[in-house]
Amino acid sequence: MAKRRLRLAMAGGGEGAFIGAIHRMAAALDGDWDLVAGAFSSDPQRNRRTGEQLGLSPDRVHDTLDALLADERARAAGDRIDAVAIVTPNHLHAPMAIAALNAGFAVFSEKPMAMNLAEARAIAEAARTSGRLYALAFTYSGYPMVEEARARVARGDFGAIRLIHVEYIQGWLSRPLDREGNKQAEWRTDPARAGLGGCLGDIGTHAFQLAEHVSGHRVAALSADVTTHVDGRMLDDDVNVLLRFDGGARGTLRATQVAAGEENGLRLRIHGEKGGLEWSQMEPNTLTLRWLDRPAEIVRAGGPGLADTTLPRQRTPGGHPEGYIEAFANLYRAVARTLDEDGPAEGGAIGAAEWFPGLVPGLRTMAFVEATLANAASDEKWTAFPEVDSIGKMAEL
């Protein structure tokens, strides 16, 4: 637990918004954060109602983020916020993150990082010049058994990694909900608010980050097929990508939102020369290990034999289900600890209790979106993937 309760402001996440409520629950779970301010909606009445429902002082509920930042900067150090959570549609991620960083506040942003790679680079530059922490809500990397999978790959349990396969399968956009009044579908399929990718940016970035994080390998080149199945939809709803990783591993990434009947099927499989693993987000407390020379194993959260880096991410004894909100809370706790200790803006070492996704995975996921779309639109078989260094600067595509 942080030494003191940190103060959080929220941009977006007003009355009725799904992800804003999730962020608030996750931030509250460990007692590290107090939500004290917000600019929740562009609708003044909805914004005010949200503040009232959350019990906030009216003078800390603002119509715009700029007004909120100006007010907080004018407050005494012991009263002003420590961080801003950005839970808006994608087109506001970059301008809001840059404004908050430049005002001297840490940022915890929803993914994807931005609308495009140029915006992501601008965020990275603002974080670098301000020296403020920047975190991204790649929630699935907060699950205990994802950390267990990463730790087992890193210590060489499976030998040299050969195959990395990740898929994120949904079916909720099989119908044109974006033209039927569904607000979540409406903005996610609008290039002006979602960015370059539809399904690719929404859930493909999650799959990409998870594959690189757990495997420890980075994509070196890709070959992609990007499709829009629903007539009239302006962004992709189905993506299939062949991946070549550094070190020689090969893999695939599949992301779709038109697999009718599917729910939230994020699944990762990694195989090396000795064996492999499988993890599914819909059964998050189970990690399956398969071996070349012995029976398969089922490893459970809360059970014996888990890595030292897995244990801090568990909250209940074995057999007591943990899930999405707890994984989210693990990231909020890591950000709080890092801020409390005045730690590095990029978070701690991967595997450490204070680790969280930040600038490098954010930039790499945006590069993935652009490289995938570029390859799919061209006649070239493979597109090389750029490198990102430790401070988030990126080589030119």
Could you please report the per-residue DSSP string of 342-372? T--TT-S-TTSTT----HHHHHHHHHHHHHH
Q: What is the pLDDT of residue 8?
A: 98
pLDDT of residue 348: 83
Q: What is the pTM of this model?
A: 0.96
Asked whether residue 328 is domain-assigned, the answer is: no
The angle at the Cα of 120, spanning 107 to 380, to the nearest 5 degrees, equals: 150
Q: Are residues 48 and 129 in the same domain?
A: yes
β-strand pairing of 275-280 with 286-291: antiparallel
Instruction: State yes or no: pLDDT of 137 exceeds 80.
Output: yes
Q: What is the extent of the structural domain holding 202?
A: 145-316+360-377
**Pairwise pLDDT comparison (227 vs 387), residue with the higher score:** 227
Co-location of 225 and 370 in the same domain? yes
Is residue 19 one of the residues assigned to a domain?
yes
| Residue recorded with tokens 């009044």 | 181
| Boundary of a domain, candidates 139, 169, 197 | 139
| Cα-to-chain-centroid distance, residue 320 | 25
Q: Cα–Cα–Cα angle for 224, 225, 230, nearest 5°? A: 145
Q: pLDDT tens across 22-69, in order?
A: 999 999 999 999 999 999 999 999 999 999 999 999 999 999 999 999
Nearest C-alpha neighbor of 167 from the set 271, 245, 253, 251? 253
Residue 271 lies in a domain: yes
Same structural domain, 65 and 153: no
- Residue 353 falls inside a structural domain: no
By DSSP bridging, strand 265-272 and strand 275-280 are antiparallel
126 Cα distance to chain centroid: 19
* Residue 168 and residue 309 in one domain: yes
In this predicted structure, what is the pLDDT of residue 342?
81
Report the domain count for the chain: 2
Residue 391 lies in a domain: no
- pLDDT tens per residue across span 234-270: 999 999 999 999 999 999 999 999 999 999 999 999 9
Residues 236 and 273 in one domain: yes
Do 188 and 262 belong together in one domain? yes
Are 133 and 238 in the same domain? Answer: no
Whether residue 354 is contained in a domain is answered as no
- Residue 74 maps to which CATH number? 3.40.50.720
Q: CB atoms < 10 A from the CB of 263, how many?
A: 11
pLDDT the model gives residue 390: 42
Beta strands across the sheet bearing 219-227: 297-300, 286-291, 275-280, 265-272, 161-169, 250-256, 238-245, 219-227, 383-384
Please report whether residue 285 resides in a domain: yes
Q: Provide the CATH number for the domain around residue 254.
A: 3.30.360.10
Same domain, 12 and 106: yes
What is the structure's pLDDT at 283? 97
Same-domain status, 114 and 181: no
Domain-located, residue 270: yes
For residues 31 and 97, membership in a common domain is answered with yes
Residues 188 and 100 in one domain: no
**Measured distance CA(179)–CA(182) in Å, rounded:** 7
How is residue 16 written in tokens? Answer: 């009725």
Residue 395 scores a pLDDT above 50: no
* Whether residues 178 and 245 fall in one domain: yes
